[in-house]
Amino acid sequence: MSQYERTCMIRGDGGRTIRAVLDRICDKWTLLIVATLEEGRLRFTELQRHVPGISQRMLTLTLRNLERDGLVSRTAYAEVPPRVEYELTPMGQSLIPPALALAGWAIENNARILASRAAYGQEAGDGERTQG
């Protein structure tokens, strides 16, 4: 694949493609829920326990969006008390590998980014940023 074709995959028609993914996975909880559900089918409360810090409201909203987009399937059992189970669809599972690629990049580069961030603006001297 040429570099031109590669950047086109991202830049595409003005970036609509990449923005489509980002709009879907970039909220605060989606990827965490998907990763959690890869471990297996879980109930609402179980999910809430496995994703520390998520509120009831956000868990509901995120699951609804995932269900709506076909990444997660929801099964409600007509019981008392209610029981609802969530699991990844095949399409949901297919999101894991690219997500892992990102996570791997994060692990490899996070320290360097933090270092760069700490150093930014600290370069005392005559110029604050690179001079050509």
Partner DNA sequence: CTGGATCCCGAGTGATACTG
Partner DNA sequence: CAGTATCACTCGGGATCCAG
What is the x/- site pattern for its own copies, positions 46-75, by CB under 8 A?
Answer: -----xxx-------------xxxxx-xxx
Nearest to 30 by CA among 52, 59, 1: 59
Instruction: Choose the binding region for DNA from 6-14, 45-53, 108-116, 118-126 (rule: CB under 7 A).
Output: 45-53
Task: Report which DSSP code applies to 72.
Answer: E
Give the number of other CB atoms < 10 A from CB of residue 108.
Answer: 9
Task: Report which DSSP code applies to 14.
Answer: T
If one asks whether residue 102 binds its own copies (CB under 8 A), the answer comes out as yes
Q: Please choose which of DNA, its own copies, none residue 82 contacts, taking the beta carbon within 5 to 8 angstroms, the exact cut-off set by kind.
A: DNA
CB of 67 to DNA, least distance (A): 9
Q: Please choose which of its own copies, DNA, none residue 73 contacts, taking the beta carbon within 5 to 8 angstroms, the exact cut-off set by kind.
A: its own copies
Amino acid at 119: A
Angstrom distance (rounded) from CA 126 to CA 123: 9
CB of 96 to its own copies, least distance (A): 7
Bridge partners, 43 (sequence order): 85
Residues 79-108 that bind DNA (CB under 7 A): 81-84
Site for DNA (CB under 7 A): how many residues?
22
Angstrom distance (rounded) from CA 84 to CA 121: 51
Half-sphere exposure of 19 (CA within 13 A, CB side): 6
Site for its own copies (CB under 8 A): how many residues?
71
Q: Which positions lie near DNA, rule CB under 7 A? A: 27-29, 43-46, 53-58, 60, 63-64, 74, 76, 81-84
